[in-house]
Chain A
């Protein structure tokens, strides 16, 4: 079989270049915007992804980690009774008001009350044991390096949270919050800072680790089933992180923005690609008509055009993937928040391939001009 589509693509690459570039940039834009959105909104779930616990137990229907409500202490008993659960740890979330020593006004902060033991699960990835130990001191807090300026403090300074005096004992890295500033304290300190009478000493979440992390989904389902210890819900780490991110993506309207931009990119890419492919078909229309006169069916000719679209898409995707990797590496090295997971990547690249194939279908229509009778004049 003579590889007409491929040979033409190689020989007339200049003609196909605009289409390949259009596919390449469309793919690249989709990848970059997905990576940026996931990167920015990934910090909405830093509490979950920065911790080692596989299960999160909170108030039923909680949409995002920052929207947690107090749950019954009895839940802890229920968790500890389960043979698959090896450790349980409370986590207290407090929305609070920060007043620094400098005149920064009130800053809205999220206080995370965690167990400061060296092997504690909360922020196991984000806080090394040396920093955690500092939290054992009463009224000690840790803030993120990136927030020092906003809070108007440096290490060793004192400030007030909800009117309660605290002291900054250390700084963390990579604990930036969305819509506020993260402050980490021990569970006891957080309890002091919690002035909401509704909370009345109750914690916001329990986190747990299970014997076999691969089975955490199954364990979460089982624990969710029994409601005899009050109302609570159990999510796996991945579920809750996703839930929190999706809440922020949708709540801020970023999701609609992403879809809008993805649609525009798709449209512009498809217009350029299909026009280029149409021009290529029209440029060879007499040759196609000759093949049809010799008895090569219209279906076979359409296949050639579609195959051309496929190769244009494949070459464009190789370009998108290569440039995407380079640019994401560059972004990471400049601490631009970017994150890309397999599913979104496949989705972006799949959408781009779809763009190429849709353009191929559009170009196929211009084969109708390949009427062999028109060669006889």
Chain B
């Protein structure tokens, strides 16, 4: 693939991964290399089962590749042991999943504060950051509500705030919109886009949702464990202003 981009924050080199089920060995990623830049929303799209989530898990240090290396923020992940990998994730990576995975007992503010308390921040600083992140995703007025009192879109925004409050250099999102309707999906992708722009975060989003393609700075199409095309948006989609009426149909 292309030579390493000078400012890439996330690099994969000759990454391969296969799974063995029974006697069958199926290769999910074939010798895959790519560079992802900070300050952009990069979207990986492709049909179901093509290996998008597996690639995301390897790039984020949740899974180890069979071959190849991953460099994240200048750190080679394969060199880190389990504990060091946890430390790395704690300091540098945020995650947003398809399911919101919020603790039913905690209100929005506590959901966001919880991981911060493990970062060694003072309670006051954790509170400040949590409040700021929730306000950034438009959840400021609903900070005291528990998941059972929030809509799906609101829950996903809390989950984004939880990832954002750590001020990570890398933000990974796996199908962040697929549990949401069009309007809420739009809001979520706009937030992710804005985070990339305003915080200089490397945002890597995986989705098979074609509606998101128009909102990404760069789209990588995947099929059968390979990157087929690398498309940089000619006119980068302008991130929508926060919570305006950007809810017109995006179909």
Contacts and interface: CB of A to CB of B under 8 A. Distances in A.
Q: Do A and B bind each other?
A: yes
Interface of A: 1-2, 4, 7-8, 10-12, 284, 286-287, 289-298, 300, 372-373, 375-377
Nearest to A285: B101
B118 A296 contact: yes
B125 interface: no
Interface string B74-115: 000000000100111111011101010111111000100111
Given A292-B86, A295-B91, A372 B62 contact: yes
B4 interface: no
Given A295-B115, A296-B115, A377-B53, A2 B106 contact: yes
Contacts of A1: 117, 123
B216 interface: no
Q: Which of B101, B106, B110 has the most CB of A within 10 A?
A: B101
A11 to B, nearest CB: 3
Interface size class of B (residues with CB under 8 A): 35 or more
Contacts of A377: 53, 174
B101 A286 contact: yes
A289 B103 CA distance: 11
- Which of B93, B94, B97, B163 has the most CB atoms of chain A within a 10 A radius of its CB? B97
B115 A294 contact: yes
Interface of B: 53-54, 56-57, 60, 62-63, 83, 86-91, 93-95, 97, 99, 101-106, 110, 113-115, 117-118, 123, 146, 162-163, 166, 174
B118 A295 contact: yes
B251 to A, nearest CB: 26
B103 A287 contact: yes
Contacts of A292: 86
A286 B159 CA distance: 13
B86 A295 contact: yes
Nearest first, the 7 closest Cβ-Cβ pairs linking A and B are A295-B90, A11-B105, A295-B89, A290-B101, A376-B53, A8-B105, A7-B105
Contact of B63 (A2, A10, A295, A373): A373
Given A1-B123, A286-B99, 16 more contacts: A4-B105, A7-B105, A7-B110, A8-B103, A290-B95, A293-B89, A294-B115, A295-B86, A295-B87, A295-B166, A296-B86, A297-B86, A300-B118, A372-B95, A375-B101, A377-B53
A287 B118 contact: no
A281 to B, nearest CB: 13
A295 B101 contact: no
A2 B57 contact: no
A294 B53 contact: no
Given A8-B103, A294-B166, A375 B93 contact: no
A369 to B, nearest CB: 14
22 contacts: A1-B117, A1-B123, A2-B113, A7-B103, A8-B105, A11-B105, A11-B146, A12-B104, A287-B102, A287-B103, A293-B60, A293-B89, A293-B95, A294-B89, A295-B86, A295-B115, A298-B86, A372-B62, A375-B99, A376-B57, A376-B97, A377-B174
Contacts of A2: 106, 110, 113-114, 117
A163 B91 CA distance: 93
A294 B90 contact: yes
A183 to B, nearest CB: 66
A291 B114 CA distance: 9
A2 B101 CA distance: 17
B66 to A, nearest CB: 14
B174 A375 contact: yes
B78 to A, nearest CB: 15
Given A294-B115, A295-B93, A373-B57, A4 B86 contact: no
Contacts of B114: 2, 4, 291
